[in-house]
Amino acid sequence: MLEFADEQPFERAMALLQTALPAAEAGASQSQRLTQHFGNLGETEEILRAPGFAFGDVSPGKKTDNVLYVQVDGGHLRTDEGFRETKVGRIFGSDQLVKKSCDNELVKRRIALSSSDYLAHLGHHAEFTARFNPLVCAHLKKAPGTKMVAISDGAEWIANWLLTTFPAAIIILDFYHALEHLANFATQVFSSDSSREEWIEIRQKELLAGKLDQVIEAIREKMMGRRASIIASADKLIAYYEKNKYRMKYDEYRAAGYCIGSGAIESAISTVVQQRCKLVGQRWTNRITAVLNIRAVFKSSKRGKLRELINQQMGYERAA
């Protein structure tokens, strides 16, 4: 019942379950109660806070080049209180990045993730980080000497949380968010598509080369003699880059072999939250917490832990 309800709304999930198990007598309300029970258990929270995968060689005394990637972002869901943001955290190791093969030799092999740990929370970011911090710390403790690399967009609360809680982490501003802001500014400045694309391409190369000062100077040149709205946009963009300069050292990150994009967490928002909780007509209460918890457990490598908990709760060993 939990497996089916993890993927589909409760009523539809139980209808599908009965097609697979015609003798099963299970309704939507029963499925919801079961999800609420297991999703809200303290033991389930312990499962979420424990690493679901191991990575790299962590032998005592061995120097490691392992990288623990930590990514956080948010997506909005409709609730009884209006649209609210669900924070999502994703953790994976550098050796979880694998190249997927393709039958077509002309197609470049894409990078996929073999394992990740997830946490999703509807509510204030302080509540989210209080739950997410133990999971991050557990991974770091499990693999001493691991470098932590955190990639996120420009959300100020994420940057402040990382600087305060994980000061040793390498914090990276998602390159594609940085480039998106630049492209939006260029749309205001250029009327010619070819000129705009050429200008963006040059600035992109400069960003990747770590030449942020040159990018800022190019923006200043384009704001000279322009209307007030363009000047305001340029000032805003320059302030954004100046504020995030400490995490825009893309030349150094690439030289070290680090990822510089946050595509993994953007994908997680869709797969962990929206594919189940942002369907047509859905509107949630705080009871969504249980659904998000179960979904995070299933999407992480922790399915077996939940099965053990179910067996304990259902008295499986006594029945056997």
pLDDT digits (tens, 9 = 90+) for 216-265: 999 999 999 899 999 999 999 999 999 999 999 999 999 999 999 999 99
Residue 28 lies in a domain: no
Domain interval for residue 210: 177-247
> Cβ distance 312 to 320 under 8 Å?
no
Residue 104 has pLDDT above 70, yes or no: no
Give the per-residue pLDDT at 103.
53
Residue 30 lies in a domain: no
Residue 96 lies in a domain: yes
Backbone angles phi, psi at 121, to 5 degrees: -150, 130
Domain check: are 70 and 113 in the same one?
yes
Burial of 168 (0-12, 13-18, 19+ CB in 10 A): exposed
Give me the number of domains the chain comprises. Answer: 2
Distance separating alpha carbons of residues 42 and 45, to the nearest angstrom: 5
Residue 18 lies in a domain: no
DSSP 8-state symbol, 253? H
Domain check: are 72 and 163 in the same one?
yes
Give the rounded percent of residues in the chain with a pLDDT score beyond 90: 78
Residue 132 lies in a domain: yes
Domain check: are 132 and 268 in the same one?
yes
Give the per-residue pLDDT at 28.
93
Residue 306 lies in a domain: no
> Cβ distance 74 to 152 under 8 Å?
no
Residue 232 lies in a domain: yes
Domain check: are 123 and 225 in the same one?
no
Of 133, 50, 56, 145, the residue nearest 94 (C-alpha): 56
pLDDT digits (tens, 9 = 90+) for 14-73: 999 999 899 888 899 999 999 999 999 999 999 999 999 887 655 554 444 689 999 999
Of 137, 152, 144, the residue nearest 260 (C-alpha): 152
The residue ranking higher by pLDDT, 100 or 270, is 270
pTM of this structure: 0.89
Domain check: are 154 and 58 in the same one?
yes
Domain check: are 212 and 69 in the same one?
no
Burial of 62 (0-12, 13-18, 19+ CB in 10 A): exposed
pLDDT digits (tens, 9 = 90+) for 268-315: 999 999 999 999 889 999 899 999 999 999 999 899 999 999 998 887
Burial of 196 (0-12, 13-18, 19+ CB in 10 A): middle
DSSP 8-state symbol, 222? H
Domain check: are 210 and 277 in the same one?
no
Domain check: are 87 and 205 in the same one?
no
Domain check: are 59 and 140 in the same one?
yes
Residue 206 lies in a domain: yes
